[in-house]
């Protein structure tokens, strides 16, 4: 499945490459307000909204921005980046909502209970596609702080229920007058949606309840998988609220090119160059396959471009498990230079050739003469 080309993140936010963190933050805020579904309708607006969120996540992180500046989008391979394409706008606000304040009123609402998804890439060889395999991947994700168990308070610190929201983490606000008043629910400004108040923030996470943690997980890759397909690892995304389920990790598979074999569906094609004498007289050659070299007999009289089939030496179908074939495509090479001895031998051979035009050639020459004899040709 082909992967769409991503736009430059600086272009997405409309900032220069030396923009300050504050300029990037301000540009994202403007883009998010412009394209938010509550303010701009249509599928394109939502895509722009998610595109701006992805750009901001990378450019607002010093490490990710540095990798992106040096290597572009490919430099983010293996880095844990949120998969915004699978998120709702409210999920995105659960990550960046603190930079918007009350701009969207109730559209931010209560944070999604389920944790957000992440995405990464896994590179495998063509030989790995031929069988079920397991690969290890490493990535970083935001996780509950181990020191404070995700509560944000330094252990031993007194934690009390927020009096402003009564422990719900949200407050209701009313604006307008009479029949035109509106009621919106937003995160509590006192406890920032936690529902609790503490006097001393955790030394490790500084009150956020989250820290970045390095993860190593094993991915089971099914035989027959195609480049660009994703494997979902449930529960390997970021955690939601305490007691709620985690998000997932979407691992996009990249199949590295093989030096000799090309994939066509479940079949493989190998181009094998031979000399014109091997084509005329026949030969036995060793050709590469996914499992090693095999001997292939080239029949005498083989023509340029002909295909020789090796049954069931291709790749398995990811669903039916039916194995495809490998095809050997013959490419006849004509020498550009001949030794004096070779030229003499070929001229002797030419004298023995049957100069009667072959049926296939006769048909072509007849059509050519007819075409050239037409007026104006």
SS3 category, 69: helix
Q: What is the pTM of this model?
A: 0.60
Please give the full DSSP string across 113-154, using - where no structure is assigned: SSPPPEEEEEEE-HHHHTS-EEEEEEEEEEEE-TTTTTS-BP
pLDDT for the residue numbered 77: 73
pLDDT for the residue numbered 377: 53
- The whole-angstrom separation of Cα 312 and Cα 116 is 42
Is 221's pLDDT higher than 50? yes
Region 259-270: mean pLDDT is 96
Residue 116: count of CB within 10 angstroms of its CB: 24
Q: What are the structural domains of the chain?
A: 261-349 (2.60.260.20)
What's the pLDDT band for 209 if we cut at 50, 70, 90? confident
Close Cβ partners of 19 (under 8 Å, ≥ 6 residues apart): 10, 13, 27, 59
Strand 230-233 and strand 196-198: the pairing is: unpaired
In the sheet where 118-124 sits, what is the strand order?
81-82, 118-124, 249-255, 230-233
- The whole-angstrom separation of Cα 100 and Cα 94 is 11
What are 166-184's pLDDT values in tens digits?
A: 777 777 776 655 555 566 7
Bigger pLDDT: 9 or 198? 9
What are 273-286's pLDDT values in tens digits?
A: 999 999 999 999 99
Is 353's pLDDT higher than 90? no
pLDDT for the residue numbered 150: 81
**Mean pLDDT highest for which of 33-42, 203-212, 216-225?**
216-225
What's the pLDDT band for 104 if we cut at 50, 70, 90? very low
Bigger pLDDT: 174 or 299? 299
Exposed / middle / buried, residue 196 (Cβ in 10 Å: 0-12, 13-18, 19+): middle
What are 48-102's pLDDT values in tens digits?
A: 888 888 899 899 888 889 888 988 888 787 666 777 776 666 667 656 655 554 4
- Structure tokens belonging to residue 247: 């998000």
pLDDT for the residue numbered 348: 87
């Amino acid at each position: 499945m082909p992967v769409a080309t991503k736009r430059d993140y600086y272009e997405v936010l409309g900032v220069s490459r030396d923009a300050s963190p504050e300029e990037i933050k301000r540009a994202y805020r403007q883009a998010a307000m412009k394209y938010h579904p509550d303010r701009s309708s249509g599928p394109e607006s939502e895509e722009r909204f998610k595109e701006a969120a992805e750009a901001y996540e990378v450019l607002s992180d010093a490490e990710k921005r540095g990798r992106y500046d040096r290597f572009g989008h490919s430099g983010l391979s293996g880095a844990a980046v949120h998969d915004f394409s699978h998120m709702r706008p409210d999920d995105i606000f659960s990550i960046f909502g603190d930079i918007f304040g009350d701009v969207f009123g109730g559209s931010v609402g209560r944070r999604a209970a389920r944790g957000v998804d992440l995405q990464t890439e896994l590179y495998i060889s063509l030989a790995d596609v031929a069988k079920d395999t397991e690969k290890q991947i490493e990535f970083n994700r935001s996780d509950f702080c181990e020191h404070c168990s995700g509560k944000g308070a330094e252990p031993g610190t007194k934690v009390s229920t927020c009096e402003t929201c009564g422990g719900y983490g949200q407050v209701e606000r009313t604006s307008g007058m009479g029949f035109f008043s509106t009621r919106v629910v937003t995160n509590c400004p006192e406890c920032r949606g936690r529902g609790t108040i503490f006097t001393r923030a955790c030394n490790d996470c500084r009150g956020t309840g989250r820290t970045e943690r390095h993860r190593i997980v094993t991915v089971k890759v099914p035989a027959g998988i195609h480049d660009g397909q994703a494997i979902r690892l449930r529960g390997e995304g970021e955690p939601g609220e305490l007691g709620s389920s985690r998000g997932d990790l979407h691992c996009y598979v990249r199949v590295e090119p093989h030096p000799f074999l090309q994939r066509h569906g479940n079949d493989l094609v190998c181009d094998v160059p031979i000399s014109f004498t091997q084509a005329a007289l026949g030969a036995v050659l060793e050709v590469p396959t996914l499992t090693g070299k095999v001997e292939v007999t080239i029949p005498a009289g083989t023509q340029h471009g002909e295909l020789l089939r090796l049954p069931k030496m291709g790749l398995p179908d990811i669903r039916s498990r039916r194995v495809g074939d490998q095809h050997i495509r013959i490419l006849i090479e004509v020498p550009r230079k001949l030794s004096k001895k070779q030229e003499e031998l070929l001229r002797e051979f030419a004298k023995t050739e049957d100069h009667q035009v072959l049926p296939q050639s006769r048909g072509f020459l007849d059509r050519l003469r007819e075409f050239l004899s037409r007026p104006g040709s």
